[in-house]
Amino acid sequence: MRFAARSLWLASPALASLLFACAIGGQPEHSRTQGFTDERSAVQVVSAKIGAKNVFVPSTIVLTAGTGRVLSVFNDTDTPHGFKIPALGVETVLQPGQETKIELPPLEGGHIYEINCHLHPAHRHATLVVLDAK
């Protein structure tokens, strides 16, 4: 399990680099604009049990920097689960069969944050990638 967690942690920066490269790839250097746009009012996330594993879907959440970012997390299981982003001070308990809206603090671009279930540390972790906004 440690190896899988380490692999995920090492892959997260690579994912952010890949997203950035895809966003600017193919454009002449003089026409590149810095940053991304994100028109969504909320991002949907599900806490679910798949096989014998509890997971967050999607496991990688991508947002742009700024304020007013909301995660709408639905717990599709029959037990409470935690949702914690330690670096942002976000921590809540997701009740079974309920949707919880989580307002995030202002986000700075260029950061990758770990998301975990603080009630069940063995559950699969997720990642929040924050890109620079236009």
The number of folded domains in the chain is 1
pLDDT, averaged per 10 consecutive residues of the chain (134 residues), comes to 45 51 47 71 92 94 94 96 97 97 96 96 94 92
Q: What is the model's pTM?
A: 0.73
Q: Which structural domain, as residue segments, surrounds residue 121?
A: 2-28+37-131
Alpha helices in the chain (DSSP H): 2-24
Give the separation between CA 117 and CA 55, rounded to whole angstroms.
9
75 sits in which H/E element: strand 70-75
Q: The tokens of 34 are what?
A: 């810095």
Which CATH number belongs to the domain containing residue 61 in this structure? 2.60.40.420
Q: What is the pLDDT of residue 40?
A: 81
How far apart CA 82 and CA 96 sit, in angstroms, is: 11
